[in-house]
Amino acid sequence: MSSSGSEAGNGGSDVAIRVRDVSKHYVMFERPEDRFKQMTVPRLQRLVGRPPRRYFRDFAALSGVSFEIGRGETVGIIGRNGSGKSTLLQIVCGTLQPTSGSVEVNGRIAALLELGAGFNPEFTGRENVFLNATILGVPRKEMEWRFDDIARFADIGPFIDQPVKTYSSGMYVRLAFATAINVDPDILVVDEALSVGDEAFQRKCFARIEDIKDKGGTILFVSHGAQTIVQLCTRAMLIDGGEKILEGRPKRVVSQYQRLVNLTGEEARSVRKQIVEMDEAAMRSPDGSHLSRVADQQVSQLQHEVVQSGDESWFDPSLISHSRVEYESQGAEISQLRIIDSTGKEVNVLVHGRRYTYKYDVNFTDDIYNFGFGMMINTKSGMGISGIGKGTSGRPAVKKVSKGSKVKVSIDFVADLLPDVYFFNAGITGTTSGGGGFVHRIIDGLAFRIAPVADLEATGLVDLGVAGSYELID
């Protein structure tokens, strides 16, 4: 059963949200007629003394989830699609009842759960603002003086007086978020809805979230953005298969999510088991409600033993380029693309600001003249960020490489890219009997990730060491 604390009278509690052993089960029918059979046949079978047959299967969207969030905390929930994150937020907000367990919420809660949630499509934007205020328990007179701030933040112009069924998805989320954050909530709950807005609006939203955070508000949100979790949160939880499998410092939780996100089958089960063991070690601490300092150290040690993640570079076997394009060989073949750290270990999850070496091998199946080599780093959208062309500007690296030879290419670089996934190209140039140009090239041959960084102020794609200062003049 879910219970919610009153909006007033709970100011003495240090806990904003308490979730105890919450589960949510759904009955799944494979065929429409099975629903009718389930309503009638088992009753008849019980009447005649036969064991009743089930025509449905039980689906556990959530299983035994427990946690506490203190006042003023910002907690992120991350997990793969279908893991139960949104279901959990709906239960916390009271829009969905759990099958078992309890939820306690102390304070005024404002939620942005999904696109247009709580909006009547036939009402205008203005009418929906006041409707949502009523749902949140905000008096109409209070909303009247808050309305101008809401309209200004949403910035949808005259559409504020048009039915929301005429809105674009961006207008929906602008108005919904503006309404949620302008009622001075004690607790703000946000699903992945902010990804709908444009970049300028997202910046404004996150600035407002930071403002709520600085004023001591409690924030609970779902995001697939690893950097967002690390940047904003004091704590994070990893949900998978309807279960909370890890809780702790954002960077550690995110690193384990990134290990798990692209895996399937036995590989996913193996990694998931390792992560669960980390959380079980943490829960053996005397506190038990969330990670104590001792438990956090246990998690750190286990993570290091499993995958050397967190503060160090590591190799994620699930991080594979699915956009790889390979040119036809014209006398040379590139192979063994890899990134090596300072200890000689192969890695593909890099620490921001560290130095690495990108390597690949080249086997020559023909005589090549005016040999040159290079690389380019691409974004996920294919934009080239930085690269090198050694021996491609008129002065060859080697005048001739004979057939049957092998060259090992090494290119040093500093990982000053901002946290995200990027791709390495590799290319060999030269002249053969058939002409000149690329004798072999691989586009997006190797995927790598820059790990999230806490308190990173740089924006864009590359950290150029830009520093800002100001002088306040009274």
Percentage of residues in the chain having pLDDT higher than 70: 86
- The predicted pLDDT at position 417 comes to 94
Mean pLDDT of 279-290: 51
Q: Using only the alpha carbons of the chain, give its radius of gyration.
A: 28
**Do residue 345 and residue 205 come from a single domain?**
no
Q: Is residue 150 part of a domain?
A: no
Q: Are residues 191 and 92 in the same domain?
A: yes
Q: Are 156 and 186 in contact (CB under 8 A)?
A: no
Q: What CATH number has the domain bearing residue 218?
A: 3.40.50.300
**Shared-domain flag, residues 393 and 429:** yes
pLDDT value at position 375?
95
C-alpha distances out from residue 269 to 240, 261, 272, 276, Å? 11, 12, 5, 10
CA separation for the pair 56, 232 (Å, rounded): 42
Within a domain: 267: yes
What pLDDT shows up at residue 194? 60
What percent of the chain lies above the pLDDT cut of 90?
34
Name the residue among 201, 209, 169 with its Cα closest to residue 76.
209
Output the domain CATH number for residue 375: 2.70.50.60
Please tell me the predicted confidence (pLDDT) of residue 46: 81
In the block, tokens 């709908």 appear at 196
Answer yes or no: is 313 within a domain. no
Bigger pLDDT: 211 or 443? 443
- Band (pLDDT 50/70/90 cuts) for residue 311 is very low
Average pLDDT of the chain, as a whole number: 82
Confidence of residue 114 (pLDDT cuts 50, 70, 90): low
Q: Do 202 and 103 share a domain, yes or no? A: yes
Q: Are 364 and 406 in contact (CB under 8 A)?
A: yes
| Residue 3, domain member (yes or no) | no
Domain that holds residue 210: 15-108+185-307
**Residues 274 and 341 grouped into a single domain:** no
Q: What is the pLDDT of residue 270?
A: 86
For 169, the 3-state DSSP assignment is: helix
Residue among 252, 249, 244 at smallest CA distance from 233? 249
Looking at the structure, tell me whether residues 382 and 258 fall in a common domain. Answer: no
And the tokens for 165?
Answer: 């069924």
Same domain for 335 and 193, yes or no, is: no
Domain total of the chain: 2
Residue 157 belongs to some domain of the structure:
no
Residue 345 pLDDT more than 80? yes
pLDDT (tens digit per residue) in 233-258: 889 999 999 999 999 888 788 878 87
